[in-house]
Amino acid sequence: MPVNTNRSKHRIFILDLNFMEIKRAIAAYLIPHSNGAVLVECGPGSTLDALQLGLEEYNFRIDDVTDVFLTHIHLDHAGAAGWLARNGARIHVHPIGAPHLLNPEKLLASAGRIYGQLMDTLWGEVLPVPQSHLIVHHDGENIEVHDLVLRAIDTPGHANHHFAYIFENTCFSGDIAGVRLPGPPHLRLPMPPPEFHPEKWRNSLNKLSQVEFDHIAPTHFGIYTDAKWHISRANKALDDVEAWMEKAMTADPPVEVLQEEFVRWARHLSQRDGLDKDLVDSYEVTNPSWMSAHGIYRYWKKVLNKQPEG
């Protein structure tokens, strides 16, 4: 699935990591350069076979990957980074994410609190990234790799360790511009605890709307040519979530009730946009509604501190 337009010199290939046997849920993006290739995202340890197959399809092997650009360190984006580093790749990351790649224990404990016994099935093995292979960037930095240049843009809101990368006319948006799967136009925001923060999120989207690009490549999933529409749709999704949260949380429901209500609301929005059941299931695997409900709940209680935690 190559994408090439007249304003981009380089081709971008979409590698489908076939996460949990579901097509078009998690992508890694492959950009060949004059001496190998870079990846934007590498997916979790559980999809390494699919990553290798995807590389082979374009005549690359793992050790041709010179650099991996991580939008953030959540395991569905970055879990395999340690393994790629062992195979020689440099790993590019946000400064707040770097310590957790060097020493993944805290990251794994935090993910373990969310995913429990599903940890291994979902994410596979997570290896640390050695310091020698870790490269930390700052907001606005242009990063050169052979004949490629990617610009890192600090974009918190989904996570505090989140970069979007601008490459030629494409924005690799990670999770900050939401999850959008191929099919009827529909977009969902992934709002996991503990760092979901709508104000920061809105600022990040505003920041991106001031940058020039016309293609957008969310990690979940694909390259879309209507970047402006996509960003405005993400803004609208944020407005909707805030209005929903205000209403739902005023009744001070227990988290389990909030979760049920949120799942119902997400289903309603999917039906309104004309999604079929399989596609709704894909959205749920990629970005579980129950997880976002927990993120919303925590934000309301701990960040806004509207009510004492019961």
Q: Is 92 within 8 Å of 67 (Cβ atoms)?
A: yes
Among all residues, whose Cβ is closest to Zn ion? 74
Query: Cβ closer to Zn ion: 111 or 145?
Result: 111
Query: Cβ closer to Zn ion: 72 or 215?
Result: 72
Query: Cβ closer to Zn ion: 32 or 43?
Result: 43
- Alpha-carbon distance 108 to 75, whole Å? 9
Considering the complex, what minimum distance in angstroms separates the CB of residue 231 from Zn ion? Answer: 18
Query: Cβ closer to Zn ion: 64 or 158?
Result: 158
Considering the complex, what minimum distance in angstroms separates the CB of residue 219 from Zn ion? Answer: 8
Query: Cβ closer to Zn ion: 55 or 231?
Result: 231
Cis peptide bond upstream of 172, omega within 30: no
Considering the complex, what minimum distance in angstroms separates the CB of residue 14 from Zn ion? Answer: 18
Considering the complex, what minimum distance in angstroms separates the CB of residue 175 from Zn ion? Answer: 4
Contacts to Zn ion by CB under 5 A: 74, 175
Considering the complex, what minimum distance in angstroms separates the CB of residue 35 from Zn ion? Answer: 30
Query: Cβ closer to Zn ion: 32 or 74?
Result: 74
First to last CA, the chain: 50
Query: Cβ closer to Zn ion: 133 or 220?
Result: 220
Considering the complex, what minimum distance in angstroms separates the CB of residue 76 from Zn ion? Answer: 7
Considering the complex, what minimum distance in angstroms separates the CB of residue 162 from Zn ion? Answer: 8
